[in-house]
């Protein structure tokens, strides 16, 4: 029970990496405050965790709205009295276009969710953690937080921003007891890939030296370690979890 007594807020918790992380953290004793825009899946996950004896609250929130992030933290404190761990995971893929043709509205939406949403989360999570004197924030970036990818400029730019934002926050708050790190998953079997055709999925498998896509549970294990007291000297770091993608 590595997280027994800890309170964790997880955004984008209704599916994919967020769902796997919620289930893993619940099994390790964390009390959970889960947010997502998908109420149906969020409540279904909540029931699943409760059936296993976990303590959990689901709250509908859109991370691209600063007021939703503020309310999420306020409700976490109201329900559990503190905040120990924050996993800023919510994200979208965005449309595929070259930079010179990228729709401005699509750019704005991807940046709002994938980058501004992480900032909004930390903006309110950090003050709550300062009241504790400690905390761990893990921001889910991507391998595309360190390399480019054609026709995905908005996503790549946002994820690069998440890595830099995490490092800056770590420099500001690590001496005050709050660790901030980011992780860089490669292509993971999540709903973000559900609309890709079989040929493209096959190509994505082939660009991973390990020979397969990642599983959400594998990313959740890394998040657990970073959230736990096993990682108390780890801050300001970016951890790829990519099947060898970035080694090429």
Q: Show the domains of the chain with their CATH numbers.
A: 7-239 (3.40.50.720)
Picking from 181, 187, 184, the residue whose alpha carbon sits closest to that of residue 165 is: 181
Distance between CA atoms of 243 and 145, rounded to whole angstroms? 16
- Is 155 assigned a catalytic role? yes
Beta-strand (E) ranges in 48-112?
56-60, 85-88
pLDDT attached to residue 86: 98
pLDDT attached to residue 191: 80
- Confidence bin at 196 (pLDDT 50/70/90): confident
Whole-Å CA distances, 222 to 122, 153, 233: 20, 27, 15
Q: Is residue 226 within 8 Å of 181, Cβ to Cβ?
A: yes
Q: Is 59 helix (H, G, I), strand (E, B) or coil?
A: strand
Tell me the pLDDT tens digit for each residue of 90-126. 999 999 999 999 999 999 999 999 999 999 999 999 9
Q: Could you tell me the pTM of the whole model?
A: 0.96
In this structure, is the dihedral angle defined by the CA atoms of residues 103, 194, 61 and 30, taken in order, positive or negative? negative
- Confidence bin at 193 (pLDDT 50/70/90): confident
CA 248 to chain centre: 25
- Flag whether pLDDT at 206 surpasses 90: yes
Q: Which residue has the higher pLDDT, 17 or 203?
A: 17
Q: Is 7 helix (H, G, I), strand (E, B) or coil?
A: strand
Among 102, 124, 155, 245, which one carries the catalytic annotation? 155
């Amino acid at each position: 029970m590595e997280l027994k007594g800890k309170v964790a807020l997880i955004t984008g918790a209704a599916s994919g990496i967020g769902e796997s992380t919620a289930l893993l953290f619940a099994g390790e004793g964390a009390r959970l405050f889960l947010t997502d825009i998908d109420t149906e899946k969020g409540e279904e996950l909540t029931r699943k965790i409760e059936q296993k004896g976990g303590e959990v609250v689901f709250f509908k929130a859109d991370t691209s709205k600063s007021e939703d992030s503020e309310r999420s933290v306020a409700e976490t404190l109201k329900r559990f009295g503190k905040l120990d761990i924050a996993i800023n995971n919510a994200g979208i893929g965005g449309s595929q276009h070259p930079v010179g043709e990228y729709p401005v509205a699509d750019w704005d939406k991807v940046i709002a969710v994938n980058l501004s949403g992480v900032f909004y989360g930390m903006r309110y999570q950090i003050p709550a953690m300062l009241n504790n004197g400690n905390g761990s924030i893990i921001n889910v970036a991507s391998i595309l937080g360190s390399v480019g990818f054609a026709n995905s400029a908005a996503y790549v730019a946002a994820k690069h921003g998440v890595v830099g934002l995490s490092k800056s926050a770590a420099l500001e708050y690590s001496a005050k007891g709050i660790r901030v790190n980011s992780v860089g998953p490669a292509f993971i079997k999540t709903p973000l890939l559900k609309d890709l055709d079989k040929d493209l999925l096959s190509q994505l498998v082939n660009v991973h030296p390990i020979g397969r896509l990642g599983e959400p549970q594998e990313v959740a294990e890394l998040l657990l370690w970073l959230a736990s007291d096993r990682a108390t000297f780890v801050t300001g770091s970016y951890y790829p979890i990519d099947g060898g993608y970035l080694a090429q």
